[in-house]
Amino acid sequence: MPTYTGQSVALSALSYFGVVPALQHLYNAGATWHMDKWRKALTLAMVFPGQGSQSIGMQADLAQEFPEVLEVYAEASEQLGFDLWQAAQAGPQEKLDETEITQPVMLSAGVAAWKAWHKAGGPRPAQLAGHSLGEYTALVCAGALEFADAIRLVRKRAELMQSAVPAGTGAMAALLGLEDDAVIEVCQQAAAGEVVSAVNFNAPGQVVIAGDKSAVERANEMAKAAGAKRAIMLSVSVPSHCALMTNAAAELMTALDSTRIADTAIPVVSNVDVLPYSNSAEIRDGLYRQVFSPVRWVESIRYLVSNGADQLVECGPGKVLAGLTRRIDRSLATGFVENPESLSKALQLSV
């Protein structure tokens, strides 16, 4: 009797026989366990975090078990001209939180976790998505971007975003306890000729706003008056995903145009349009518009579910996205890949 070793054989049978005959063929050949694992892989979505999940010492435990982690950081360091792993391990935290460091760190961390997942025997997911910067990680893992090219892109992205507004003039805040429409209305009323808008729809009742600092502060007060439970100013130097980033996006497009981008081997759901990218031209346009457009994360998770996902693994440091997912759709089984222990637990979702 033939021995089937997993998803690759199942996919080969699918290609050769067709869908229903392939399933029957594998069943008859005694591949029941592998078919179940393959079926679960088809319902697995993987997501990648953006800025905010970084911390001193992140992935140290993972690196001890998986040498691929240090290999990823070494490749990033070669592109950047400084030791990125040292920055992630030694800090200080204020330095790690600078967007020029945070963006390449989080990209590297997501790719490193992805490699550890596969080295540990994790199946290839059926769908990918990334939160803001995490979309670059998803595109690397989907084969659309080479890692070295992505490192150069996110470094440029960080530089352009940081220089887009004078220091201290932009701000972001998290509004808790208001419906999306109420947040949008508050921003419209608070603008008064300046920029402030909803930029991250993270979970029901959790929306981040960004723009000119004075306008964000007005929006915070109006949100409280409208019934928000909390309005929290965020410790960031860049008001991401708002109209203040339009010029930065235009300059980033020059870098995107000169970067080789392939079609995705795994569907990647766009932050901007909440649809999978269908070709490289769409990817360039999506990454350009993402800089000044909202991250529609609630809709992205619901899209993954509507297309068959019933398990979701966050690939990278922290578990912010896994937590948000539970608030968006409690039917999803969630896991995360932060260290060997959490990786082992996440693997159980696909067993």
- Find the catalytic residue in 53, 197, 241, 293: 241
Catalytic residue (one of 53, 108, 132, 342): 132
Query: Can 118 be counted among the known catalytic residues?
Result: no
Whether 25 sits among the annotated catalytic residues: the reply is no
Q: What is the 3-state secondary structure (H, E, C) of the chain?
A: CCCCCCHHHHHHHHHHHCHHHHHHHHHHCCCHHHHHHHHHHCCEEEEECCCCCCCCCCCHHHHHHCHHHHHHHHHHHHHHCCCHHHHHHHCCHHHHCCHHHHHHHHHHHHHHHHHHHHHCCCCCCCEEEECCCHHHHHHHHCCCCCHHHHHHHHHHHHHHHHHCCCCCCEEEEEEECCCHHHHHHHHHHHHCCCCEEEEEEEECCEEEEEEEHHHHHHHHHHHHHCCCCEEEECCCCCCCCCHHHHHHHHHHHHHHHCCCCCCCCCCEECCCCCCECCCHHHHHHHHHHHCCCCECHHHHHHHHHHCCCCEEEEECCCCHHHHHHHHHCCCCEEEEECCHHHHHHHHHHHC
Give catalytic residues, as residue numbers: 132, 241
